[in-house]
Structure 1
Amino acid sequence: MRQVLLLIAGLAGFLCSTANAGADIAGAGSTFAAPLYAKWADAYRKSGGDKVTYRAVGSTEGIKAIIANQVDFAGSDEPLTDVDLLKNGLLQFPAITGGVVPVVNIPDIRPGQLTLSGKVLGDIYLGKIVNWNAPAIAALNPGLKLPDLAIAVVRRQDGSGTTRIWTHYLAQVNADWKGTVGEGSAVHWPRGLGGLGNEGVATFVHYVPGAIGYVAWDFTKRNHLAYVAMKNAAGATVEPEPRTFQAAAASADWSGAYDQFLTNEPASDAWPVVGATYVLLRADSGKPERSDATLKFLDWIYENGNQAAIALDYIPLPAQALTEIRERLHAQVRVGSTNTNDDR
């Protein structure tokens, strides 16, 4: 118990010291976006910017940290409502979009060889389908030899924006899921092994025979997992790749509200589980120097971050949206008496 208390105290001290030391910038939250924040941070430092640290603790913990003013920004895959933003003095901007992918560990099944539908995925996570050679799965995969192997469901243990995207999709395509479990960053799971972060889910799937889980696309590639092809809203079979992510994201209108979900989009080549990840920061942190440093980093992301995003198969926001976001960012973040619009 003493070791646990020391660990908690050390973590709290790390958050506070990181957010208050020098001009270094501290972020925390979404594991979905963590690979990209790491790449952005490295490129920003090499360009002459401040050091940026980002802790992949999940969207829910990231939101808690920014509300408590323990970090300079948070990453979240679940957009907050206008009411919650106003209540907590927060600003919210979309950063990037990307795909969430079902992955499996089934003997002799290669990436993209197995096809599932949203209805079947919901029934698997509900526990209505418990074996890989079940008739509903076989009907989607004629000619594919499916093993008599129990399905090991893997899901997130922590509060997660990736879970919000995933459960939002399942609620759209499976009526039983919508009626019994619903959607959210944390839900009452009917079954499954809980992994911490996208990395935890990917690790479980990698090592547990018969496993199925959901992770961001980058974690699928990094862990060499067998991804599943999907039946989309148009009835077409699609595989996860930048082209199908882009087809889903193309319908988004960022000129209005920023809280968009991009699941089950109607385009014939759209990947069905796509979502945006958001950056949250305080309108007034009470620390002008730190707010200025954070603003410069985020402004750099919106001006220079697309190349890194594309390299990791995320989908950048449209140019017009990026321009509007940068204008709002500079207009709404309070950094003291200096008008940062003249600093760009």
Structure 2
Amino acid sequence: MFHRVGFIARGLAVALVVMVFGTAHSATLTGGGSSFAAPLYRAWSAELHRQTGFSLTYRSVGSGEGQRLIMAGAVDFGASDLPLSGDVLDERGLYQFPTAIGAIVVVINVPGIASNQMKLDGPTLAALFDGRITSWADPRIRALNPGLRLPDLDVLPIHREEASGTSQVFSDYLHAVAPDWKAGMWGDGSEARGNDGVAASVRQSIGGIGFVEYAFARRDRLNTVRLKNHAGQFVAPGKAAFTGAASSADWLHADHYAVNLLAAPGAQAWPIMSATFALVPVHPAAPATRAAVKAFFRYGLKQSDDATRDLDYVPLPTPVKERILASWP
């Protein structure tokens, strides 16, 4: 009975998208911004494409550029992991809402060290990225990893080159766990564009360390590390750790849904989590585009939880989804 009800609901959602867009050939939208969210929106649109012919052109160019694109009217929706303040949203005539919650993980390329063998805490992680730790055999890393054979190999930190929500969230985390860390304190490493660029650079750099959204680490089979969380436990990235952290979000009191998910409580909570946000015009130039954008996000929020989980994002709570759609201007 429940499977039948779910099948009917999915069918109605798809029918709504087809009705909004008219024909399969006219079902086209543009979006741009967050690389953190790129796998999510591409997965949602791929399923719709199979069922309706819907097409989404999404430019994975970073959160800062996503904000600029939507403010310039160059895309139908912008995507950013950096929520805008209420004043800016009002001034620019934008509606901001979260679409999912994802995890930022630390990835390494250290010979002889398998995924999740290495343990790091906040101060040590900050020192790896600001250049105070230059060798993987540093005593601070050894102290956290007794018995682990660490090579005397140069550390090659890799960070984002463009304005990035992933970078800002990661920097905020480092400042929270190592108060002397300040945004931009990257050591003598290298830069790469987008989560995919950082993932590729770490994969190609012996001694490399970087930070990416988890979907990119899993896709590229990169080695991740265990991090010390707010409860003092070293936890490995994974669905249980992500869900545990996401459950602590205080959506009710968040300004325009801008929740803080860093250092979430819970013994097994992953410490670096972020919501990712969409930005749409309150008064779009074309009403039909407004309806199409809303239909896309309605489908993604209400019918695509399985695809969202398959990419290791955490779907939003149902009451938050309902509130987003009910408040859509």
TM-score w.r.t. structure 2 length? Answer: 0.89
Partner of 1:219: 216
Q: Secondary structure at the match of 1:261?
A: coil
Partner of 1:67: 71
Q: Secondary structure at the match of 1:280?
A: strand
Is the contact between residue 192 and residue 198 of structure 2 (CA under 8 Å) also seen in structure 1? yes
Q: Deviations over 1:304-332 (max 9, x none)?
A: 12111011111001111111111112xx1
Deviation at 1:188?
A: 5.5
- 1:92-131 aligned at under 5 Å gives the runs 92-131=96-135
| In structure 2, C-alpha distance between the alignment counterparts of 1:161 and 1:126, rounded to whole Å | 19
- One-letter identity of the residue aligned with 2:295: K
Partner of 2:28: 24
| In structure 2, C-alpha distance between the alignment counterparts of 1:133 and 1:200, rounded to whole Å | 27
User: Which of 222, 236, 249 pairs up with 2:233?
Assistant: 236
Q: Secondary structure at the match of 1:85?
A: helix
Mean alpha-carbon deviation: is it higher for 286-295 or for 104-113? 286-295
Partner of 2:201: 204
Deviation at 1:50?
A: 3.0
Deviation at 1:49?
A: 6.2
Gaps of 5+ in 2: 1-24
| In structure 2, C-alpha distance between the alignment counterparts of 1:173 and 1:256, rounded to whole Å | 24
User: Which of 143, 146, 165 pairs up with 2:147?
Assistant: 143
| In structure 2, C-alpha distance between the alignment counterparts of 1:223 and 1:190, rounded to whole Å | 25
Deviation at 1:266?
A: 2.1
Deviation at 1:155?
A: 0.3
- One-letter identity of the residue aligned with 2:95: L
User: Which of 179, 191, 195 pairs up with 1:194?
Assistant: 191
| In structure 2, C-alpha distance between the alignment counterparts of 1:222 and 1:122, rounded to whole Å | 25
- One-letter identity of the residue aligned with 2:242: F
Q: Secondary structure at the match of 2:289?
A: helix
The sequence identity of aligned pairs, in percent, is 39
Gaps of 5+ in 1: 1-20, 333-344
- One-letter identity of the residue aligned with 2:288: E
- One-letter identity of the residue aligned with 1:170: L
- 1:161-310 aligned at under 5 Å gives the runs 161-177=165-181, 181-182=182-183, 187=184, 189-257=186-254, 258-310=257-309
Deviation at 1:287?
A: 1.3
Partner of 1:337: none
Deviation at 1:48?
A: 2.1
Deviation at 1:302?
A: 1.5
Deviation at 1:87?
A: 1.3
How many equivalent residue pairs? 303
- One-letter identity of the residue aligned with 2:37: A
Mean alpha-carbon deviation: is it higher for 146-155 or for 23-32? 23-32
RMSD: 1.3
Partner of 1:7: none
Q: Does 1:56 align with 2:87?
A: no
Q: Deviations over 1:190-242 (max 9, x none)?
A: 43210000011001100111000000101101111110111111111100001
| In structure 1, C-alpha distance between the alignment counterparts of 2:322 and 2:100, rounded to whole Å | 14
